[in-house]
A and B are shown apart, each in its own frame.
Chain A
Amino acid sequence: MSHEYVPEIATDREGNEHVVQGWQGDFYGGKLGFWMFMLTEVLMFGAMFLVLAYYNTLHPQDFIDASASLNRWLGGTNTVILLVSALTMGLGLLKMRVGDVKGAKLMIWATILLAAVFLIIKGFEWTAEYNHGIFLMHDKLLVGTENSLPFGQKLFFGMYFTMTGLHGFHIIIGIGLMLWLLKRINAGKVSQDHHILYWNIALYWDIVHLIWVFVFPYFYMIGAGGVTGGH
């Protein structure tokens, strides 16, 4: 069974044939549409950062104390992993654009592997925090318990689990998209001449990376270096 890209043909009144401009062929339109989608992502995470900033102004010292208790090395490792994965995704797209399909697929698998490692590290981190009594609706984040954290720290960790959780969910979706992309490449639907899907999934991966670029310092670094508030 052939999987070659077959364009749709429309015939005008004079009998002339024209290639119908589908989403595969409308490169700029496809890209522009995806940028609009990404702006909705910015709106969603932007609102969360706004809430975070507001809570931070109410409880600056609690935010610094809570941040200082996070594992900076695990967060930093995940930062580097995402950074390298953005490179592998970009190089894969570059390889596809010059017709190296095998190399492009290899780079997608490398990105998937890095994404999985990111999630595993995040899983270890969350597990360690749970074992220390810090998790949503659990032990130290409950109101009125013996070990209960100060109110500002509760707000901090509430936002931390919400935002890193939502970001992790985006990573999982990214892995799904990359697997789908591999399927489309194998079916010949994505190729050197028709690579808008690859372009947009690479953009998606970059926005996931971009969000982490702000999530990491806000949660992990504001309490670093023994700062005592008033930031």
Chain B
Amino acid sequence: MDTNTIDYKKERAGYYKVLIGLLLLTAVTFIQPHLFMTESNFLAQMLIAVLKAWMILMYYMHLKGEKLIIWMVWFALSIVLVFFIIVIGIDVANFNNAAGSYITSAPNAN
């Protein structure tokens, strides 16, 4: 892949457009708790973060059009999802020593 065959002005304009998008989303991050989805603050904040992450990955990290790397990223994230969330999640949900664990048994302890 020849990375030097580039249209400088076009790529630079792309960087600035993404910057403006990210700045706008950062502003939304600040006003969201007062403006919308106020009862689902956590969900709203994470959705905005995912949107920002997608822009960074696609445009700043040049993932757009990189089929092999995108496949690799999804594959790795799927493994993380399976092992971290499903396997460990099942384990945590069936935790048999909740009473013996300081963290789970002392929610109000100081």
Report A's interface with B, CB cutoff 8 A: 27-28, 31-32, 35-36, 39, 42-43, 46-47, 50, 54-55, 58-59, 72, 76, 79-80, 83-84, 86-87, 90-91, 94, 97-98, 143-144, 148-152, 155, 192-193, 195, 199, 203, 206-207, 209-210, 213-214, 216-218, 221-222, 224-227, 230-231
Q: Indicate if B90 sits at the interface (CB-CB under 8 A).
A: no
Q: Which B73-110 residues sit within 8 Å CB-CB of chain A?
A: 73, 76-77, 80, 84-85, 88, 92, 103-104, 106-110
Q: SS class of chain B's interface: helix, strand, loop or mixed?
A: helix
User: How many residues from B make CB contacts under 8 Å with A?
Assistant: 52
In the complex, the answer to whether A225 meets B110 with C-beta atoms within 8 Å is no
Report B's interface with A, CB cutoff 8 A: 1, 3-4, 6, 8, 11-12, 15-16, 19, 22-23, 26, 29-30, 32-34, 38-43, 45-46, 48-49, 52-53, 56-57, 60-61, 68-69, 72-73, 76-77, 80, 84-85, 88, 92, 103-104, 106-110
Which chain B residues border A217 with CB–CB below 8 Å? Answer: 29, 45-46, 48-49
In the complex, the answer to whether A222 meets B6 with C-beta atoms within 8 Å is no
* Bound-state Cα–Cα, A231 to B45, Å: 11
